[in-house]
Amino acid sequence: MDPCPFVRIVIGSLALKFSAESKPPPTATFDCKIKLKGFLTQSTTIPAFIQEKDAILDSRIHACFNFSKSELVKLVDKSNSRGKPCSLKIEIYGDNMGFGCFNGGKLLGSVLVPLDLKSLENIGHRGVVIKNGWVSVGGSSSTAELNLNVRAEPDPRFVFQFDGQPECSPQVFQVNGKNKQPVFTCKFSFRNSGDRNLRSRSSLSEPSTSTSCFSSDKETPVKERKGWSITVHDLSGSPVAAASMVTPFVPSQGSDRVSKSNPGSWLILRPGDNTWKPWGRLEAWRESNGELGYRFEIIPDGATDAITLVNSTISTKKGGKISIDIVNGATPLTSPNSSFDLSSGSGSGSDFGSQPGSGSWAHLLYRGFVMSSTVGGDGKCSKPEVEVGVQHVSCAEDAAAFVALAAAMDLSMDACRSFSQKLRKELRQQDQELW
């Protein structure tokens, strides 16, 4: 099945230019707020120059907005019904300006960039440049100019959908519009209580003690959540990825919540040489404001240090989305012609581990949009939907690793629930009931 079409609007190369008469003091700093209706505002700091010959313009990406095809269609319909074109708005703020009304982080001016959304529905493989070069910063007292590069790029993604909660051992479908086909199955299980740590190169086998969605309601107050595991299989039944809880989720001293100082953690594992090899580590905890905090690190094969790809929070009440989207310092990669057949189960994934052992390659391999997955709110039924950029999928094991990460992230919402609350029966062992 082919990937789903997505469009990515990229804003980069932002810089300010002033005339010699209106130059700001050397201590001045400038920030931009980049707005698009219906999306969260994005912020960035930009450099300033006095003359154009002094400008050193880089290709750094400052912000980006992502659209699925259905989202684009809705925006086009809204724009047509209102009779107003959709525009990208860039507001520039100056701090420590030392003159006029701009002192104290006041609005210096703004730039509007109209977006022809209709043309973006059928964007070509190479994308289009929407705006490039210097433009005047609107404002009654402003003589500044802003350099910008706004372009739209195709950013196709594979979309996967769990047909049930991860702890109920669901199927996982690949989705494209109204079409969907099964590509993976998940098996949730508990490891033996004595097996507290899964070795990074243990034999490739199933966890020893499994449960179903019909376990006992009996519960003994044990303030520790441990041993959860989920294995992802292809349609032939071969395990292609796994997520294993390697650090128990326990409450901090004197409280009923998992703290950031002592988070629980998962290893995301991939098969190789008939063993499980660690690919990534997910840590999760409960913030003091009640949000779910998380950090995901890639573990390069042969390297000594892990590389953090995302460190953020999600609302425990409403849920949210884990998103790995590496913007700054890199140009997003696109491979619009990719049509890898995930259902075939082909590909060993061995090329993934053949990179240099320094780990520096990970910043090059993982850039642009990497993946996102929905996470249900505390105590709510959740069926994660996972998006993975096609440039990060060359075999079934690549996609399965992200599916395992999505399952671990969703299960972490339950693992980090207050220990004064009872877990669903699917998440409690029969021989040692868990809170």
- The structure tokens listed for 195 are 């097996």
pLDDT tens digit sequence for 247-258: 999 998 888 899
pLDDT at 99 (0 to 100): 42
* Positions in the chain whose pLDDT score sits under 50: 98-104, 193-202, 206-220, 329-339, 343-360, 431-435
Return the amino acid letter for 290: G
Contact (CB, 8 A) for 156 and 333: no
pLDDT at 323 (0 to 100): 93
3-state SS, residue 51:
coil
Q: CB neighbours of 44 closer than 8 A, spacing ≥ 6?
A: 14, 31, 32, 34, 62, 63
Domain annotation for the chain: domains and CATH numbers: 7-155 (2.60.40.150), 163-192+225-330+364-427 (no CATH)
CA–CA dist 167, 97 (Å, integer): 55
Contact (CB, 8 A) for 295 and 347: no
Cα–Cα separations (whole angstroms), residue 157 to 63, 154, 174: 19, 10, 11
Contact (CB, 8 A) for 423 and 433: no
Q: Which of 279, 273, 335 is nearest to 302 (CA)?
A: 279
Q: Per DSSP, what are the bridge partners of residue 173?
A: 161, 182
CA–CA dist 250, 155 (Å, integer): 40
Whole-structure pTM value = 0.80
pLDDT at 345 (0 to 100): 43
39: exposed, middle or buried (Cβ count in 10 Å: 0-12, 13-18, 19+) = middle
